[in-house]
């Protein structure tokens, strides 16, 4: 069930009505309802994998109780590792088994040894990386005595399976979400309207921007050998906006939907393309995953307390693991490695926390220096995204080589201009400019249109909202609907 589908448009109001009216605002009944609806939401993808979600939930729930009641440190550690090994084992089998087997077979073939190994012919269970990390953070926090084990199974299961975040995050923490699940919730009109506004902007980003960009990014990437450097630049830019608007659009819809039920989820994006360096970019991109790796991998490895070598080593580890988390392909690992290289200067010269505030805070325009920093950071990010999108490392390298080879060709720019004029039209570039302007003007808020137009008249505000809604309906009917990119992770 896609957020941008008709079925979800029917599903959400029904759940909302039952939640606030049919449950008589009884907390226990509300949580049971949300859990049942969350399992139904997941089963709509593939009911066969619902057992996997339930098993993972039961495993971590009982493991938490066993660790809390363990008679000694050794017994507690045993239960901890049972949970970690089984959780990572499922993730490894479903997501990485074929990758490791294929890589091993390729290695043997380089030595002249032909091999034939059995591979899995199953689809990746949607959301497995996300709900596995939900459970792991819970188990790790109990093991480190940061939280107590949750006794109420329904409350814990809802923490893992709450439908807005179930398949693509944000990756929640028990310390943040469980207290909200256990607390009596009352309907808040202002919070609900804010949620609807964020859903609207998320749908605009996904349907109007991301899906439109995806159509042309796919054409250019899938036929990259046929295009010149300027066209390849266009393809890379289209994918850069596609992946941001696709994933942050999902996050906006998830956060907005949760607000309709009186729940606040972790913020996942903070206008990353306005970053002035790579360190700032990673503080603003997929925040819940970046902070997860910081707290559960980087810091346990020693963080930055062991000198320069340890900082460099740990930084490379978390970026490579982050790349591997995204997918079982060497392109993702290279993408992670490239970002680790990008961030190295700020790590070595201790400038990684220079830009903690929003660029040009309180101002309409950035300084010349800030503008140059944003353009530079955005440009190297675009290059890294090529590896993320490419089918193979060879494809990515050839794409980049062809891009730079024809970058300064006048003929290539004429071809790109002609493609924009006759194949794409100027409506998509115009909408991208509109999108960037709105994001820039709203960059100091939680999402771009959170406080949009509050100083304007009601007529202006509602004209803006209706215009966004009409664009969503129009582009939803163009046939460019794409599944959310991060569902594959």
Residue 43 zone, left/alpha/beta (φ > 0; ψ -120 to 50; rest): alpha
Contact between residue 250 and residue 3 where contact means Cβ atoms under 8 Å apart: yes
Question: What is d(CA 33, CA 30) in angstroms, rounded to the nearest whole number?
Answer: 5
DSSP 26: -
326 is catalytic: yes
Question: What is d(CA 242, CA 484) in angstroms, rounded to the nearest whole number?
Answer: 10
Sign of the torsion angle spanned by Cα atoms 350, 351, 352, 358: positive
SS3 label, residue 190: helix
Q: Which of 134, 286, 326, 395 is catalytic?
A: 326
* C-alpha 353, offset from chain centre: 23
Q: Map tokens 């991208």 to a residue.
A: 432
Q: How far is CA 59 from CA 35, 67, 135, 234, 238, in A?
A: 17, 12, 9, 47, 42
Question: What is d(CA 61, CA 161) in angstroms, rounded to the nearest whole number?
Answer: 13
Q: How far is CA 6 from CA 3, 259, 284, 482, in A?
A: 8, 21, 31, 14
SS3 label, residue 354: coil
* C-alpha 192, offset from chain centre: 23
User: What is the DSSP annotation of 70-135?
Assistant: -SSHHHHHHHHHHHHHHHHHHHIIIIIHHHHHHHHHHHHHHTT----------PPPTTHHHHHHHH
Rounded to 5 degrees, what angle do the CA atoms 68, 73, 76 make?
Answer: 45
Residues 6+ apart with CB under 8 A from 285: 269, 272
> Would you call 96 exposed, middle or buried from its count of C-beta atoms within 10 A (0-12, 13-18, 19+)?
middle
Question: What is d(CA 373, CA 278) in angstroms, rounded to the nearest whole number?
Answer: 10
What size, in residues, is the chain? 489
Question: What is d(CA 51, CA 57) in angstroms, rounded to the nearest whole number?
Answer: 10
DSSP 150: P
Query: Tokens representing 78?
Result: 């045993």
Q: Which residues of 128-142 are buried (b: 16+ CB within 10 A; e: fewer)?
A: bbbbbbbbbbbbbbb
DSSP 267: P
SS3 label, residue 300: coil
User: Catalytic residue numbers?
Assistant: 326
């Amino acid at each position: 069930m896609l957020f941008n589908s008709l079925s979800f448009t029917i599903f959400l109001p029904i759940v909302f009505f039952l939640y606030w009216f049919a449950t008589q605002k009884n907390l226990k009944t509300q949580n049971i309802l949300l859990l049942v609806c969350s399992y139904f939401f997941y089963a709509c993808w593939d009911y066969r994998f619902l057992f996997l979600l339930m098993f993972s939930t039961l495993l971590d729930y009982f493991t938490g109780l066993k660790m809390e009641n363990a008679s000694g440190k050794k017994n507690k550690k045993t239960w901890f590792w049972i949970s970690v090994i089984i959780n990572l084992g499922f993730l490894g089998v479903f997501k990485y088994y074929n990758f490791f087997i294929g890589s091993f077979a390729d290695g043997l073939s380089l030595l002249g040894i032909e091999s034939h190994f059995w591979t899995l012919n199953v689809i990746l269970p949607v959301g497995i990386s996300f709900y596995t990390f939900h459970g792991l953070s819970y188990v790790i926090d109990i093991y480190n005595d940061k939280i107590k084990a949750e006794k109420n199974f329904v409350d814990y299961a809802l923490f893992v399976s709450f439908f807005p975040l179930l398949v693509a995050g944000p990756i929640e923490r028990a310390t943040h979400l469980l207290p909200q699940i256990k607390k009596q919730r009352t309907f808040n009109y202002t919070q609900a309207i804010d949620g609807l506004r964020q859903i609207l902007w998320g749908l605009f980003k996904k349907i109007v921007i991301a899906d439109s960009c995806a159509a042309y990014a796919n054409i250019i990437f899938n036929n990259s050998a046929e295009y010149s450097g300027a066209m390849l630049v266009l393809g890379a830019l289209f994918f850069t906006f596609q992946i941001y608007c696709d994933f942050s659009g999902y996050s906006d819809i998830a956060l907005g939907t949760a607000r309709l039920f009186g729940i606040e989820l972790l913020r996942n994006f903070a206008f990353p393309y306005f970053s002035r360096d790579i360190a700032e970019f990673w503080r603003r991109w997929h925040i819940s995953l970046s902070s997860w790796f910081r707290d559960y991998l980087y810091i346990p490895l020693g963080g930055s307390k062991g000198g320069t070598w340890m900082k460099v080593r740990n930084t490379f580890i978390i970026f490579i693991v982050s790349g591997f988390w995204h997918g079982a392909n060497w392109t993702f690992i290279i993408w992670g490695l490239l970002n680790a290289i990008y961030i190295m200067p700020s790590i070595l010269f201790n400038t990684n926390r220079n830009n903690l505030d929003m660029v040009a805070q309180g101002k309409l325009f950035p300084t010349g220096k800030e503008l140059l920093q944003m353009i530079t950071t955005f440009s190297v990010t675009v290059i890294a995204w090529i590896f993320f999108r490419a089918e193979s490392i060879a494809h990515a390298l050839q794409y980049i080589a062809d891009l730079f080879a024809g970058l300064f060709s006048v003929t290539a720019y004429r071809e790109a201009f002609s493609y924009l004029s006759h194949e794409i039209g100027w409506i998509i570039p115009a909408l991208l400019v509109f999108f960037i302007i709105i994001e820039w003007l709203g960059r100091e808020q939680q999402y771009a249109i959170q406080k949009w137009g509050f100083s304007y008249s009601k007529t202006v505000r509602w004209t803006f909202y209706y215009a966004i809604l009409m664009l969503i309906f129009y582009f939803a009917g163009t046939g460019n609907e794409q599944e959310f990119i991060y569902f594959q992770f």
